[in-house]
Amino acid sequence: MKVLIVDDEPAMLLALKRMLSGIDGVELVGSFRSAAETLDFVRRGNVDLAILDIMIAADDGLALARSLRSIRAELDIVFTTSHAEFALPAYDVYPLDYIVKPISAVRLAQSIARAVNRRSSSSAPEQPAANEEALSTPLTSREKDVLRGIAAGWSNEEIAEQLQISLSTVKVHTRHVFAKLEVHNRVSAVTRAQRLSLLDEDGTGQQ
């Protein structure tokens, strides 16, 4: 598991390095104090998990997370922050975890384990196509609309504006879509939806 950390506080970077050094299977590939150097590294290097402070001096950790995902869609993200009130906005980029400081070594290890398990599951051989014939619970028309917005790369705010529904309603529909598709993030949702032909213009797939 290749991990990078981003925080503008040298003491926090040091603490994270020490905690990560005690977790088996973790390779720390970079530690940064700004968004620009983080993005430059990810464009050039291979990273599985980014541990980001939400407030990075003059940079916005949420904006950084969106930029990182645009470069590497499968990247897992763990947010760290001293501000619990950012939890809801952070949901828009579907982080693997959201940890409020002070960070527990146990909690960090659990987050790493979740990332490892998720990647192990996604790399497992796919089941025969027959298992992809139908969902146990079909998507509603509105859930399909939200799914198409996700596939188009729209943010939750953009989906809400396009469908003329509230942001909270978009988030509820998104959770339902994830549950019905049995996935945990946008990339996996789109991948499975494509296999099920749920994104076809003619509306084929589950009705």
Q: Dihedral sign, CA of 112, 185, 63, 60?
A: negative
Alpha carbon distance 207, 204 (integer Å): 8
Which of 72, 96, 122 is the endpoint of a domain?
122
Tally DSSP H helices, then E strands, for the chain: 9, 7
According to the model, what pLDDT value does residue 191 have?
A: 78
Question: pLDDT at position 87, please?
Answer: 66
**In 3D, which of 54, 68, 42, 56 has the Cα closest to residue 98?**
54
Same domain (yes/no): 64, 101: yes
Mean pLDDT of 174-195: 85
pLDDT one-digit tens code per residue, 58-74: 889 999 999 998 999 88
- Type of residue at 44: R
Q: Tell me, yes or no, whether 106 and 145 share the same domain.
A: no
Q: Where are the beta strands (DSSP E) in 45-204?
A: 49-53, 55-56, 59-60, 76-81, 97-100
What's the CATH code of the domain at 75? 3.40.50.2300
What is the average pLDDT score of the chain?
Answer: 84
**How far is it, in rounded angstroms, from Cα 118 to Cα 171?**
22
Amino acid letter for position 51: I
130 pLDDT higher than 70? no
Region 6-29: mean pLDDT is 93
* 204 occurs within a structural domain: no
Q: Please, are residues 111 and 99 in contact by the beta-carbon 8 Å criterion? A: yes
CA distance 87 to 83: 8
Rounded average pLDDT over 11-32: 93
Return the minimum-mean-pLDDT range out of 47-51, 94-98, 154-158: 94-98
Whether 174 has a pLDDT exceeding 70, the answer reads: yes
Question: What pLDDT does residue 128 have?
Answer: 42
| Total number of domains constituting the chain | 2
- Please tell me the predicted confidence (pLDDT) of residue 202: 42
The rounded percent of the chain whose pLDDT value lies above 70 is 86
Q: How far is CA 27 from CA 1, 48, 120, 150, in A?
A: 6, 10, 17, 32
Q: What is the pLDDT of residue 204?
A: 37
Instruction: Supply the range of the domain harboring residue 37.
Output: 2-122
Residue 43 lies in a domain: yes
Q: Does the structure show a pLDDT above 80 at 141?
A: yes
